[in-house]
């Protein structure tokens, strides 16, 4: 298993607050959340802030919280996958100066928002856009890569990943792909 760390760049750690209900039905903050843990990747890392196994999510009895807080499983906070088949994930991705991801695609619709630094979003067609804080991408099973535009400062984006049904693209069925650099 890859190394897990509490920080991968000089950016301050994100704080995740899980909200649930007490015995009287009042909304309360869940007290036993583990600290945000990053899966160290070349040039940065990714942290799974939350995950559910299905959409719509089943949250009765806190089964989703228990599954997320477990040390293994498809929705565990320790699971390094980007997309959960049939489910949804919230990811925090930190990128060191000049870092880039592999070109990849997932069977998902992704809502990705730049929150720190400047990040280039590059497509397999050669097109690219530069994201600044607040700019965002709606990605629909597309082949792409992320690149920190700065050689001196870290960058961060937050992504909500929703599983989607596979469909045909150019005569091929959509599947998760990670191309070598």
Tens of pLDDT, residues 21-40:
899 999 999 887 777 888 88
Find tokens 């925090």 and name the residue: 92
Give the per-residue pLDDT at 2: 57
Domain of residue 167 covers 4-8+17-178
Find tokens 């196994």 and name the residue: 53
Q: What is the DSSP string of 102-129?
A: PPEE-SEEEEEEEEES-EEEEETTS-EE
CATH number of the domain to which 112 belongs: 2.60.120.10
Per the structure, how many domains does the chain have?
1
Q: What percent of the chain has pLDDT over 70?
A: 98
Q: What percent of the chain has pLDDT over 90?
A: 70
pTM for the full predicted model: 0.90
């Amino acid at each position: 298993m890859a190394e897990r760390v509490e920080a991968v760049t000089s950016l301050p750690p994100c704080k995740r607050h899980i909200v649930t209900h007490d015995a009287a039905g009042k909304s309360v903050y869940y007290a036993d959340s583990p600290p945000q843990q990053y899966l160290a990747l070349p040039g940065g890392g990714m942290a799974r802030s939350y995950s559910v196994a299905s959409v719509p999510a089943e949250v009765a009895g806190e089964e989703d919280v228990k599954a997320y807080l477990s040390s293994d499983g498809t929705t565990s906070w320790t699971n390094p996958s980007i997309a959960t088949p049939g489910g949804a994930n919230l990811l925090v991705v930190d990128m060191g100066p000049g870092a880039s991801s592999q070109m990849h695609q997932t069977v998902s619709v992704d809502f990705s928002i730049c929150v720190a630094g400047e990040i280039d979003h590059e497509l397999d067609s050669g097109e690219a856009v530069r994201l600044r804080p607040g700019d965002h991408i709606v990605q629909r099973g597309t082949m792409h890569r992320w690149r920190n535009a700065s050689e001196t400062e870290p960058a961060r984006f937050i992504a909500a990943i929703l599983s989607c049904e596979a469909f045909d693209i150019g005569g091929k069925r959509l599947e998760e792909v990670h191309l070598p650099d």
